[in-house]
Amino acid sequence: MDFSGIIGQQEIIGNLKRQLVEDRVGHAYIFSGPAGMGKKTIAHIFAGILLCENPQAGAMCGRCKACMLFENESNPDFHTIAIQEELSIGVDRIREIQSDVAIRPMYSKRKVYIVEDAVKMTDQAQSCLLKTFEEPPHYVVVILLADNYEKLLETIRSRAQHLQFKRYTHAQVSQALTERLGSENALIELAADYCDGNIGTALELAGSSDFSRLRNRLFELLPGIAKGRTQEILDYTAFLEDERDNADLLLDIMQLYYRDLLVMCETGNENMLINSDKKVMIKNNARTCCGSGLVSDIEAIGEVRRALKQNANYQLAIDNMLIKLREVY
């Protein structure tokens, strides 16, 4: 196991490789960035190399006892702490690390702990982990995976190396999807356009049977909203109600539709469209739009997204959005 199959994040991988080669591995790391950026995968590879008895050129040898146990997910020198049935990582879970830290490694010169969803640690749990950060045994390495670096306590952040994962380019996302799904998947380019540089999101979209169906239906209904056609407004309302389980995806599709209208309205450059396969429709619809109105549409969709995250009533939020979408025309 090594980093050779990883697409993107080369700055981070280069940094980790240098630390391995120069034997200056830190005792605590924070890998931050949105879900789907490869944090868990890279942390797992890094952990495997740290545990290997005979690492070669930044890769596991794959033959030593530590490697074989690691690949079988049974290496006692490696531990993962993740959200289980509870909604947070409490102090008792971190105390388990503290108890285990005192025991020297069995098969490696290091012990590695990965804390997934580290921002879900309670403040008490983070304060407890701080004790390990302040006085770590020389053989301990702790890797925190965090979607939002700022949500970790400052005392934790100040005692760990921060490696921030960047969004992938369109080409990198397309390459990753092609390698995993095959070049014949018709949704690869569209998923790469929609995913905002997130390979995890792109994989979900490319593998979703709902994505194309929802997108095509929305593109049938949205022009009628702008024109105030009663039947399409009623159909649109019913559609959003029926598909409330896909609310995030629906809002993404809508926001990017209005974004493309704004691009055409303001620049006329069809090469900048995300929904490039719908460019004829978008160009035609953009002729009757104004830039300020489209900005208001995008803001209205953003307001619904924020309201739903705060557990607002779904139907009321959607109705308010619909009113605002019609007001600007």
CB 89 within 8 A of CB 57: no
Which 3 state secondary structure label does DSSP give 149?
Answer: helix
Q: Cα(291)–Cα(228) distance, rounded to whole angstroms?
A: 19
Q: How far is CA 298 from CA 219, 222, 257, 305, 324, in A?
A: 16, 13, 9, 11, 10
Condensed to tens digits (0 to 9), the pLDDT of residues 174-231 reads 898 888 888 777 778 888 888 888 888 888 888 777 888 888 888 888 887 766 667 7
Q: Which of 89, 82, 202 is nearest to 151 (CA)?
A: 89
Assessment of whether the complete model's pTM goes beyond 0.95: no
Q: Cα(260)–Cα(278) distance, rounded to whole angstroms?
A: 10
**Per this entry, what is the length of the chain?**
329
> What pLDDT, on a 0 to 100 scale, did the predictor assign at position 326?
66
Tokens of 138: 């020389």
> What pLDDT, on a 0 to 100 scale, did the predictor assign at position 328?
47
> What pLDDT, on a 0 to 100 scale, did the predictor assign at position 236?
83
Mean pLDDT by 10 residues, the chain (329 residues): 86 93 93 91 96 87 93 94 83 90 92 95 93 89 95 94 93 88 79 86 83 88 74 83 88 90 90 86 86 88 89 87 68
3-state helix, strand, coil in the chain (%, to 5): 60, 10, 35
> What pLDDT, on a 0 to 100 scale, did the predictor assign at position 44?
96
> What pLDDT, on a 0 to 100 scale, did the predictor assign at position 228?
65
Q: Cα(264)–Cα(161) distance, rounded to whole angstroms?
A: 43
> What pLDDT, on a 0 to 100 scale, did the predictor assign at position 179?
86
